[in-house]
Amino acid sequence: MMPKWIGKSNLLSEKNIVSLTSSISAILVGLLFGLVILLISNPSQAFAGFKTILFGGFTGGFKGVGQVLYFATPIIMTGLSVGFAFKTGLFNIGASGQFIVGAYAAVLVGVRLTSLPPSIHWIVALLAAAAAGGLWALLPGILKAYANVNEVIATIMMNYIGMYSVNYLVTRTVYDQLRNQSISTVAVLPKWGLTTLFPRSSVNGGFFIAVFMVIVVHILINKTTFGYELKACGFNREASRYAGINAKRNIVLSMVIAGALAGIGAGLLFLAGSGKHIEVVDILAVEGFNGIPVALLGMSSPIGILFAGLFIAYVTQGGFYLQLSNFVPEVIDIIIAAIIYFSAFALIFKNIMSKLIKGRKEQKQ
Amino acid sequence: MSTFYFLFQQTMFFSIPLLVVALGGMFSERSGVVNIALEGIMIMGAFSGIFFINACQTNFALNGQILLIAALCVSALTGMVFSLLHAYAAINMNADQVISGTALNMFAPAFAIYVARMIQTVQQIQFKNEFRFDFIPFLGKIPVIGPMFFQNTYLTTFLGLIILGISIVVLNKTRFGLRLRACGEHPQAADSVGIKVRWMRYAGVMISGALAGIGGLIFVIPTSTNFNATVAGYGFLALAVLIFGQWNPKRIFFAALLFGVMKTLAAAYTGIPFLSNLPIPSYFYKMTPYIATLIVLAFTSKNSQSPKAAGQPYDQAGR
- For residues A41-80, one letter each, b for 16 or more C-beta atoms within 10 angstroms of the residue's C-beta and e for the rest, the string is beeebbeebbebbeebbebbeebbbbbbbbbbbbbbbbbb
Position B297 scores a pLDDT of 85
- Rounded Cα distance between B190 and B194, Å, is 7
Pairwise CB contact (< 8 Å): A336 & B106? yes
Non-local (6+) Cβ contacts of B68 within 8 A are B53, B131, B155, B156, B221
* Residue A57 and residue A64 in contact, taking contact as beta carbons nearer than 8 Å: yes
pLDDT score of A299 more than 90: no
- Rounded Cα distance between A170 and B266, Å, is 20
pLDDT score of B135 more than 60: yes
Q: For residue A190, give the 3-state DSSP assignment.
A: coil
- Rounded Cα distance between A130 and B245, Å, is 35
Least-confidence region, from A268-272, A360-364, B112-116: A360-364
Position A235 scores a pLDDT of 83
Which pairing describes strands A175-176 and A181-182: parallel, antiparallel, or unpaired? antiparallel
Choose the mutation target among B236, B243, B282, B296 for the interface with A, i.e. most A CBs under 10 Å: B236
**Looking at per-residue confidence, does A132 or A197 come out higher?**
A132
CA angle B208, B112, B9 (to 5 degrees): 60
CA angle B100, B182, B169 (to 5 degrees): 100
Q: Using one digit for the tens of pLDDT, what is the confidence trace for B221-232?
A: 998 889 998 888
Position B113 scores a pLDDT of 94
H or E segment to which residue B281 belongs: none
Phi/psi at B134 (5° precision) = -70, -35
pLDDT score of B257 more than 90: yes
Residues 75-134, chain B, touching A (beta carbon < 8 A): 85, 89, 93-96, 98-100, 102-104, 106-107, 109-111, 113-114, 117-118
Mean pLDDT over each residue of chain B, to the nearest integer: 90
pLDDT score of A1 more than 50: no
pLDDT band at A312 (very low <50, low <70, confident <90, very high): very high
- DSSP of B63-78, one letter per residue? -HHHHHHHHHHHHHHH
Choose the mutation target among A166, A282, A330 for the interface with B, i.e. most B CBs under 10 Å: A330
Choose the mutation target among B294, B295, B296, B299 for the interface with A, i.e. most A CBs under 10 Å: B294
Residue type, A5: W
Q: What is the dihedral of CA B238, B239, B240, B243, to 10 degrees?
A: 120
Q: What residues in A contact B240, CB-CB < 8 Å?
A: 153, 156-157
pLDDT score of B98 more than 50: yes
Complex ipTM: 0.90
pLDDT band at A9 (very low <50, low <70, confident <90, very high): very low
Residue of B nearest to A340 (CA): B103
Residues 243-262, chain B, touching A (beta carbon < 8 A): 243-244
**C-alpha Rg value of chain B to the nearest Å:** 20
Position A12 scores a pLDDT of 59
Q: Using one digit for the tens of pLDDT, what is the confidence trace for B258-303?
A: 989 988 888 887 777 777 777 788 888 888 888 988 898 888 887 7
Q: For residue A84, give the 3-state DSSP assignment.
A: helix
Residue of B nearest to A345 (CA): B95
* Residue A113 and residue A234 in contact, taking contact as beta carbons nearer than 8 Å: no
**Can you say how many angstroms the Cα of residue A148 is from the centroid of all Cα atoms in its chain?**
27
- Residue spans of the domains in chain B: they are 2-235
- Rounded Cα distance between A324 and A303, Å, is 34
**Nearest CA distance, A348 vs chain B (angstrom):** 7
Share of chain A above pLDDT 90, in %: 50
B6 lies within 8 A of chain A by CB: no
Pairwise CB contact (< 8 Å): A333 & B287? no
Position B3 scores a pLDDT of 80
- Rounded Cα distance between A82 and A293, Å, is 9
A336 lies within 8 A of chain B by CB: yes
Q: For residue B126, give the 3-state DSSP assignment.
A: strand
Q: Length of chain B in residues, anyone? A: 319
- Measuring CA to CA, how many Å separate A204 from each of A71, A132, A192, A277, A310? 11, 23, 7, 17, 15
Non-local (6+) Cβ contacts of B258 within 8 A are B292
What is the distance in angstroms between the CA of the first residue and the CA of the last residue of chain B? 60
- Most distant pair of Cα atoms in chain A: their distance: 74
CA B239, A287, A102, A166 torsion-angle sign: negative
Q: Using one digit for the tens of pLDDT, what is the confidence trace for A143-168?
A: 999 998 888 889 989 999 999 999 99
Non-local (6+) Cβ contacts of A262 within 8 A are A77, A78, A81, A92, A95, A98, A99, A102, A133, A137, A288, A291
- Rounded Cα distance between B253 and B19, Å, is 6
Q: What residues in A contact B95, CB-CB < 8 Å?
A: 344-348
Residue type, A358: K
Non-local (6+) Cβ contacts of A104 within 8 A are A132, A166, A169, A170, A182, A278
- Rounded Cα distance between A20 and A35, Å, is 23
Helix locations, A185-246, DSSP H: 194-197, 206-223, 225-235, 237-242
**Looking at per-residue confidence, does A109 or A323 come out higher?**
A109
